[in-house]
Structure 1
Amino acid sequence: MVNELDNNTTYQTAATSLPASGKRLVILGAGESGIGAALLGKQQGYEIFVSDGGAIKDLYKQELAVNNIPFEEGHHSWDIVLDAAEIVKSPGIPEKTELMKKVREKQIPVISEIELAYRFSKDKKIIAITGSNGKSTTTALTYHIFKTAGLNVAMVGNIGVSYAKQVATAPADYYVIEISSFQLDDIKEFKPNVAILLNITPDHLDRYEYKMENYVASKFRIAMNQTAEDYFIYCKDDPEIMKHLEQQPIFSTTIPFTIMEPLKAGGFIANDQVNIQVNEEPVIMSIYDLALKGKHNLYNSMAAGIAGRTMDIRKEKIRESLASFKSLEHRMEYVATVRGVDFINDSKATNVNSVWFALESMERPVVLIMGGVDKGNDYGAIRELVKEKVKAIVCLGVDNSPIQEALSKDTPAMVNTGSMEEAVQAAFQLATKGDVVLLSPACASFDLFKNYEDRGRQFKETVKEL
C-alpha cells in the first residue's frame, strides 16, 4: 500500500488487504459527498475503500491520505468494488453504467451519502428541501431563519459541506439539507422531520428514462418514510405535485403554500402580505419587506417560513430573517451598476424554468446573456417573457443555434459571442441607462467553463473591469 502522496502516485490498496467484514464499505465517487461518506464511515468503524473512475481533486486526495483511507482514481477495481458489503454511490453516477449493472446483479446494497449520514444523525431534527428550482435559495433562507433564532444548525447537502462530513466533523442539533433527486434515488430509511417540495419541472429526464412520472416519483421519495408526526410542505400551485398527491397520498402532516388563494392553514399571499398560518400564531408581513424579490421568491420565502414555524421558531425571528436574508452567489446576485446599468449574476440558472423565474422578477428592460450546453431545452416556455421584457439576447456558447432558432424572432437584437469578455462587452453596448444585464444561461456551462460557479465568477470579474 502506498502512503506517500505525490503527483505520480495514487494512494490505494489491494483487495487482499481489506479484511472480510460485514462493515466493508466501498464509496464510488470522490467528490464532496464521497469524501464526506468516507470520513464518516471511517469514524464509525467501517472498512473504507474509495473508488473514482475519474481524477480526484488534490484537496480531496490529501484528505483521504491524512485519514489513512485507501482510494483509487482513473479506474474502478471491480474485484474490490464487487466484494463490498455495502456501496455508497455518488449522485453523479448513472445506473446505466456497466459497473452499476454488475453491482445490481450481485445485489450489493447501494445507498446514498444522505442515507449514510442519516444513519448516524436520526436523533437530530432534519429539514430536507428538494425541487427542480429554488432549492439552494430556500435551503439558505431556512438555515438563516434557524441561525437567527439562535439554534445549533448546519446547512448541508448540495450546498456547502456534505451532510456526512458535517455529521462526522461538526455535528449539529438541526440539519437543513438541500437534496437532489439523484440523492433521493438511493435512500432507504432517510426520514426528515420536515420535507419541503418546492416545484417539479422537467429536468435530468435522461436519468429517468425520459419519463416525467419517474422524475416526479423520485422527488416524492423525500416523504416516503414520513409519518403523521412529520411535516410535508409543498407548493399547491404546482400541477405535477398536485397530480401526484391525488394519485398517491402521503402519510405526513401536509402544509401547502400558494399565491393563488387564501388558506386556513399553510402559506398564502393576501393584500400584498405573506401569511404563514401554522400553529397558534400567524406570521404576517408585507411582501415589500421580503429580502428576496420576484414571484418565485414568494414561494421560497413561504416554504422557509413554514419550516421555521413547524419547529416553533418565534414569529418575530421569522419576520426578521425573511427581511434580512442576503441572496446566494450565482443566484440572482447583484454584481454592480455601471453607468446606470445593473448587472445580475444568475449563473445557477441551468434550465429554462430558472430563466423564466428570473425574467418574471424583472421590472426593467433586460439584456439577457444565455447559452452553453443545451440539454434539449424547450425555449418556448420563455418566449412570451422574452417578447415582453428582453430588448436583446447575447448568446454565449460554442453552439448558439438552438437559441437563435427558438428566440431570434422574439427580441429586437441577438448577437453571438464565444467568451465571457465578449458577452459582457456586447451586453453593455446593447444596454442603456436603467436597463439590467442578466446572466441567466438556461444551459449547462461546460462548453466554455469548469462549472456554473466558474461562469458566474468570470462574469463578475469581467463586469468589474468595465
Structure 2
Amino acid sequence: MEEQKKQDDSKRNAPLGSGKRRLVILGGGESGVGAAILGKKEGYAVFVSDNGKIKNKYIEVLEHDGISWEDNGHSENRILDADLVVKSPGIPDRVPLVLKLVERGIPVISEIEFAARYTNALLVGITGSNGKTTTTMLAHHILKEGGLNVGMAGNIGDSFALMVAENDYSHYVLELSSFQLDGIIDFKPNIAIITNITPDHLDRYGYKFDNYIASKFRIAKNQTKDDFLIYDADDEVIVDWLQKHPVNSKLIPFSLNRAFREGAYLKDNKIQITLDNNTMEMETETLALEGKHNIKNTMAAAAAARLVQIRKQTIRECVQHFQGAPHRLEKVLKIHHVQYVNDSKATNVNSTYYALESVKTPTVWIVGGVDKGNDYRPLMPLVREKVKAIICLGVDNNKIVDAFQNVVDIVVETYSMEEAVKVAYKVAERGDTVLLSPACASFDLFKNYEDRGDQFKNAIKNL
C-alpha cells in the first residue's frame, strides 16, 4: 500500500511536460478519461483533475496509460498553466475555476469538440429533450446493419474521444446533451437531428427556456448548405426558433400531422419518407417500438439512414426487429395478467407524457424523485383518462400529492422501490399496467436512473 501511495503521489506531482502542448482535463469520468487517452495519443502533455473522487476503474486506466491525475480537489496553478482545457459536461460554465480559465483566454471545450478535431468520419448528431437515446440506438442499428463501419458514442456508451483514439470508424452516431453542445466551437455533424425541445435542466440555464433552446440548436450552428437538419415539425418550439434563427443546413422535417415534398410524414398509417424525389413507405403496425413518439423517433432515424444511402429494405427490417433502449418503456414481466413497465429513464414531465400516452390499459403509476421544477399540468388529461392509482416514490412527494390528490382516488407515498412495487402489486388488477415513469431525477434514493430501473426490475422478480 505504501509503495502504491508513492507511485500515486509521483503521478499526481509529475510535471506537465516541456515542449508539449499542455492539456488539462476537468473531470475524471467516462468523457474525461476518454479525452485524456486521445490527448496523449495526439502528443499532448495531459493532466486530469477531478474535484471529487475518481472511480478506481478510471484510475487504473490513467495509471496504465501513464497519465498524470489528481482527485478530491484541483491544483489551480497547474490547471491555469494549460494551453487547452477539456471540461466534463457535468461541470457548469459558471464555476469559479472555469471563469478564471476563460478570463485568461485559455480555451475551454467539450470532449465532443476535442474528439471531432481528430476524425474525418461522417457524423450523425442527435439531441432533444426526449427520444435521443432511442433515436441514436436505432440510427446506429440501421447504419450497422446497412454495412457501414459505424460507432455509437457521446452521451451513450463509450466516450466519443475514446472511440476516436481506439477505432477507425467511417461513421459515428452521437447522442448529444445540451451540456455537451455548450462546449463546442467548430464541431458540426453532417446530419443533425433534434427530436423535440421541452423545458429541462433549467437550473443550468438561469431558469430561462430560451437559453436551453439555444443550447440545443448549437448542434446546427456550424452546419453548411451541404449538411442536413432533421427536426420535429410538430414541435412549436423548434418551428418558432427556426423561423427567428434560420440555419444554413438543408431542413428535413418530420410530422404526424403534415405532409412534405421533402421529409417524413404519416399517411394512412404508413410512414412516408421523401428525399430527392425518392419515396419509401413503412407500415406503422410493423414497428417494434410502440407509441406515437416512437413513430417520430423511427422517422428521424430512418431519414438519416436514407441520407447515407442505406437500402429501403434494410431500414424496414431494422425497425421491425429493433429492441429499444433499456429503462425506456421496457416491458419487464407480466404477473397475474398485469404488465410491469420500466420507464425509469423518464426524468422529466414530457417523457412521462409519452409513456402515459403509449399505455392502453388502466395504469398504476409510480412517480417521483428529485423534482426539477416540474409543471404537472400537461399530464392531467392522461392521468384522468388512464391512471387508477398513483404511488409516489421520493424523499419529498408533496408536489405530486398536491397536483394529483383530487384527480386520482388512490395516492400512496412510499420511500423505497421494494415498498412501491409491493403497493403496486396489491392495487393492480387483471389487465392493468404498472408503469414506473418518474418524471423526476433519481438522486434522492438511487445512484442514477439505471439503478432505479434495475431496482424496479429486481423488486418485481422478488414479488
CA apart distance, 1:8: 11
Partners of 2:391 and 2:205 in 1: CA distance: 32
Tell whether 2:354 aligns with 1:354.
no
- Number of the residue aligned with 1:260: 257
Tell whether 2:72 aligns with 1:80.
no
Deviations 1:298-325 (A, max 9, x none): 1100000000000011111111111110
Q: 1:441 to 1:5 in 2, by over 3 A?
A: farther
Percent identical residues: 52
Partners of 1:331 and 1:337 in 2: CA distance: 17
Instruction: Decide which of 244, 268, 287 is 1:247's aligned counterpart.
Output: 244
For the Cα contact (< 8 Å) 2:229–2:249, is it kept in 1? yes
The one-letter amino acid of 2:228's match is: Y
Tell whether 2:441 aligns with 1:433.
no
Partners of 1:207 and 1:22 in 2: CA distance: 35
Instruction: Decide which of 178, 184, 188 is 1:187's aligned counterpart.
Output: 184
Ranges in structure 1 where 5+ consecutive residues have no aligned partner: none
Tell whether 2:30 aligns with 1:29.
no
CA apart distance, 1:3: 11
Tell whether 2:48 aligns with 1:41.
no
Instruction: Decide which of 205, 214, 217 is 1:217's aligned counterpart.
Output: 214
Tell whether 2:11 aligns with 1:12.
yes
Q: 1:5 to 1:437 in 2, by over 3 A?
A: farther
Partners of 2:336 and 2:9 in 1: CA distance: 52
Tell whether 2:122 aligns with 1:156.
no
SS of match in other structure, 1:410: coil
Partners of 2:403 and 2:355 in 1: CA distance: 19
Partners of 1:308 and 1:144 in 2: CA distance: 10
For the Cα contact (< 8 Å) 2:20–2:45, is it kept in 1? no
The one-letter amino acid of 2:432's match is: D
The one-letter amino acid of 2:433's match is: V
- Greater mean deviation of Cα atoms: 280-289 or 424-433: 280-289
- Number of the residue aligned with 1:51: 49
CA RMSD between the two structures: 1.6
Partners of 1:11 and 1:434 in 2: CA distance: 63
Instruction: Decide which of 103, 107, 122 is 1:109's aligned counterpart.
Output: 107
SS of match in other structure, 1:146: helix
Deviations 1:155-184 (A, max 9, x none): 101110110011111221110000001111
For the Cα contact (< 8 Å) 2:421–2:459, is it kept in 1? yes
For the Cα contact (< 8 Å) 1:366–1:389, is it kept in 2? yes
Partners of 2:195 and 2:226 in 1: CA distance: 21
For the Cα contact (< 8 Å) 1:279–1:309, is it kept in 2? no
Instruction: Decide which of 270, 273, 277 is 1:276's aligned counterpart.
Output: 273
CA apart distance, 1:21: 4.5
CA apart distance, 1:279: 3.1
Deviations 1:394-451 (A, max 9, x none): 0011111110011111112110111110000001111011111010001111111111
The one-letter amino acid of 2:13's match is: A
- Number of the residue aligned with 1:366: 363
How high is the TM-score relative to the length of structure 1?
Answer: 0.97
SS of match in other structure, 1:210: coil
Tell whether 2:80 aligns with 1:69.
no
SS of match in other structure, 2:169: coil
Q: 1:10 to 1:180 in 2, by over 3 A?
A: farther
CA apart distance, 1:101: 1.7
Partners of 1:117 and 1:68 in 2: CA distance: 20
Instruction: Decide which of 201, 206, 215 is 2:203's aligned counterpart.
Output: 206
Partners of 2:316 and 2:6 in 1: CA distance: 52
The one-letter amino acid of 2:62's match is: L
SS of match in other structure, 2:278: coil
The one-letter amino acid of 1:434's match is: G
Partners of 1:74 and 1:52 in 2: CA distance: 6
The one-letter amino acid of 1:381's match is: P
Instruction: Decide which of 80, 88, 91 is 2:89's aligned counterpart.
Output: 91
SS of match in other structure, 1:60: helix
Q: 1:287 to 1:46 in 2, by over 3 A?
A: same
CA apart distance, 1:100: 1.3
For the Cα contact (< 8 Å) 1:282–1:315, is it kept in 2? no
- Greater mean deviation of Cα atoms: 173-182 or 376-385: 376-385
Deviations 1:64-94 (A, max 9, x none): 0000001000000000111100100000001
CA apart distance, 1:20: 4.4
Q: 1:94 to 1:350 in 2, by over 3 A?
A: same
For the Cα contact (< 8 Å) 1:5–1:11, is it kept in 2? no
For the Cα contact (< 8 Å) 1:371–1:442, is it kept in 2? yes
Tell whether 2:405 aligns with 1:408.
yes
- Greater mean deviation of Cα atoms: 414-423 or 206-215: 206-215
For the Cα contact (< 8 Å) 2:124–2:174, is it kept in 1? yes
Counterparts of residues 323-402 of structure 1 (less than 5 Å): 323-402=320-399
Ranges in structure 2 where 5+ consecutive residues have no aligned partner: none
- Greater mean deviation of Cα atoms: 293-302 or 271-280: 271-280
Partners of 2:315 and 2:276 in 1: CA distance: 14
- Number of the residue aligned with 1:171: 168
Q: 1:270 to 1:11 in 2, by over 3 A?
A: farther
SS of match in other structure, 1:437: strand
